[in-house]
Structures are given as structure tokens and as C-alpha cells.
């Protein structure tokens, strides 16, 4: 197995392993160690069936809970992230986010397997919350260490949100619900339960406020943090190829799907790995 890290050790390619086959304990441990260290890892040239994808996901951890999106028939944990060539609605996942951060126990990991990749565009950008936190002013770090953010799925998945996002014109089936109006408090600075690292953990899609602050102050602080996290030195820009599989750590990484492929189809299969309550 060959592991090739990217700049700042954020992101790494892993080659020389067949994820469609049963992995040894040593292979699984090495993959997991690479994932924890580099936060985003990808495996080129992995042809996998639904069943093989599910089996590999289970080596990372138990299946997560994926609301608001319809799964593939017969595979309740696989969501097909699809955009047809003629779709004219906002990109699914195009706003920076950490998957399902509005849940009480958001997923530890997301696994994405590329099926149909357009010849141009269609990449995914990843932001490193660990280095983003490390590069904040120490006074601001101390202030943020004691604040809680308010997360909610209302923007994309409430009935009004799905309608505003052109949900009835999507090739993917979204499942709006009044549950999306609920809120969940999480720390702005999240401590990784396995590495002990602190990460800046807010996102513009699901983070709607800061507990205890007036709206204007909260909005100003969040806007400042969002811009800080998106600085180029914290971002890895990933380019997909067919049959590539990717895993990232939602406990310290935010991501954003990119466009630029109008007139072309893009299809990937997605699973999440169950997580724990942030602290």
C-alpha cells in the first residue's frame, strides 16, 4: 500500500489496495491511520458493487443516519448524488458544510464513490478545520473555546428550503420535513475524540447562529469564521476520476461540491459512518 500525502499533510492518495476485496486487519488499520492523519484520503481505480461499497464502509464504522435524501432501492444506506446534464437548480452540496452537522451525533466520516465524472469541472473542495483553528488569533481561540453554535437543516431541507432550491426539478429525490426546523447546539471548537486535535467546526449551510449572542453579533462572527476557513492555505481542491473512492473526516473537515460541468452528467454514490456527540 502506497500513501502519498498532499501539502500540509491535508489529503492523501492511497494506492496498491483493492477495496472490493476483504481487507486484512493490517490493511484496515493502515487506512484508518492515514484517514485520521490526513483527514481526507482517496483511492483511485476502485471498481465496486453496491454490496462491496457497503462492506468497505463497515470497516470504517457502522452506517450513519441519512435523512432528507432518498436512498437507492434495496440499499438503504447508499444515496446516489446525481446531477443530469440539463439540470438548472443549485448544486447539491454546493454550500460549504460538514455532513449532517445538525444531528445530535453527526457522522464521523463520509464515503463517496465516483461513478460518472464529467470531463470538466465537478470537483470537491475540502477545508481543514484543524489548521484553520491553529491559525486564529489566540485571544479569539480562547473566546471561541467557550461558545456553542446553533445548527439546523432548515435552509436546505425544510419544505420552504427544498422548494426554494428547486427540489421538484432535481434528478435526486429530496425528502423535506418539519423536522428540519429543529435546532442542535454544538461547540464552535470541536475536539477530535481520536486525535485530540481541536478544529474550527462551523459551516454556512447548517450553522445558523451562536448561542447567547444577538443576531447581528452572531452573524458578524460567523461570517468572519467562514471566510477564515476558506482561505486557500486551508483548502484542498480535489479532482475526481471514475471509480475513485474518497473518505473524509466530518469531525474536522468541511467541504463544498463544485460546478463547472453544465451539459454533462455527474453521478457518485455516498454513505456516511455513524459518529458521536461533539465536545
- Which amino acids are annotated catalytic? 97, 99, 255, 270
Residue 219: enclosing H or E segment and its boundaries? helix 215-229
CA nearest neighbour of 102 among 189, 179, 184: 184
Alpha carbon distance 96, 93 (integer Å): 7
Alpha carbon distance 159, 249 (integer Å): 29
DSSP of 20-37, one letter per residue? TSPPPHHHHHHHHHHHHH
Task: Say how many C-beta atoms besides its own lie within 10 A of residue 113's C-beta.
Answer: 26
Residue 113: enclosing H or E segment and its boundaries? strand 109-116
Amino acid at each position: 500500500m502506497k500513501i502519498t500525502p498532499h501539502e500540509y499533510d491535508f489529503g492523501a492518495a492511497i494506492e496498491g489496495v483493492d477495496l472490493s476485496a476483504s481487507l486484512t486487519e493490517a490493511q484496515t488499520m493502515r487506512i484508518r491511520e492515514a484517514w485520521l492523519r490526513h483527514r481526507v484520503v482517496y483511492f483511485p481505480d476502485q471498481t465496486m458493487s453496491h454490496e462491496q461499497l457497503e462492506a468497505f464502509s463497515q470497516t470504517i464504522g457502522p452506517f450513519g443516519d441519512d435523512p432528507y435524501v432518498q436512498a437507492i432501492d434495496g440499499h438503504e444506506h447508499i444515496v446516489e448524488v446525481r446531477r443530469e446534464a440539463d439540470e438548472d437548480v443549485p448544486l447539491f452540496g454546493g454550500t460549504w458544510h460538514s455532513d449532517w452537522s445538525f444531528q445530535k451525533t453527526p457522522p464521523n466520516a463520509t464515503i463517496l464513490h465516483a461513478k460518472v465524472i464529467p470531463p470538466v469541472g465537478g470537483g470537491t473542495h475540502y477545508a481543514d478545520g484543524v489548521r484553520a483553528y491553529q491559525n486564529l488569533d489566540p485571544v479569539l481561540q480562547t473566546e471561541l473555546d467557550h461558545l456553542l453554535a446553533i445548527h439546523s437543516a432548515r435552509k436546505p431541507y425544510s419544505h420552504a428550503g427544498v422548494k426554494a432550491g428547486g427540489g421538484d426539478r432535481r434528478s435526486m429525490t429530496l425528502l423535506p420535513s418539519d423536522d428540519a426546523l429543529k435546532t442542535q447546539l454544538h461547540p464552535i471548537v470541536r475536539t477530535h475524540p481520536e486525535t485530540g486535535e481541536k478544529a474550527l467546526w462551523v459551516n454556512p449551510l447548517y450553522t445558523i447562529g451562536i448561542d447567547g449572542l444577538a443576531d447581528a453579533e452572531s452573524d458578524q462572527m460567523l461570517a468572519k469564521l467562514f471566510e477564515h476557513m476558506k482561505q486557500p492555505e486551508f483548502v484542498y481542491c480535489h479532482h475526481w476520476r471514475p471509480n475513485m473512492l474518497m473518505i473524509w473526516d466530518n469531525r474536522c473537515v468541511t467541504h463544498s461540491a463544485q460546478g463547472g460541468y453544465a451539459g454533462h452528467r455527474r453521478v457518485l454514490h455516498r454513505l456516511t459512518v455513524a459518529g458521536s456527540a461533539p465536545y
